[in-house]
Amino acid sequence: MSQQDKIFVGNGKKNDQYGFINFSICLSDLPQEHITEFKGKKYINLTISEKRESPDQYGKTHSVVVNTWKPEGSAEQANEEVTDDLPF
C-alpha cells in the first residue's frame, strides 16, 4: 500500500516511563465502508506503526491508519466452491 492509499485516522506518543503508547483516533475520519459488524457490534481494523521520522514536531511517535486489506475471496465463495464439487 502506498503512502497515498493510506487512510490516516490518528497518531500517538510513546510513554517511555511506563512503556505504553497513548493515541487518539478521529472517529469522523473512519470510512464507513471499512466498518464491519459482527454479533451486533461494529469493528474496524487499524494498524499502529512507528513513524519514520520519530518524533514529529508535536512529539508524536506513532501513526494510526485503517487496515484496508481484504482477502481475495470471501468465506461464502469458498463454501460455494466446495459444495459445487459434491456429487449430489
- Whether the predicted model's global pTM rises above the 0.85 cut: no
What is the distance of C-alpha 53 from the center of its chain? Answer: 21
Region 7-30 average pLDDT: 91
Give me 26's grid cell: 478521529
| Cα–Cα distance, 51 to 64 (Å, whole number) | 10
- Please list, in sequence order, all residues whose beta carbon lies within 8 angstroms of the beta carbon of residue 66, skipping any fewer than 6 positions away: 6, 7, 9, 30, 31, 34, 44, 45, 46, 47
Model confidence at 83: pLDDT above 70: no
Tens of pLDDT, residues 28-82: 999 999 999 999 999 999 999 999 887 999 899 999 999 998 778 755 554 455 4
Residue identified by cell 466498518 is 35
Amino acid at 40: G
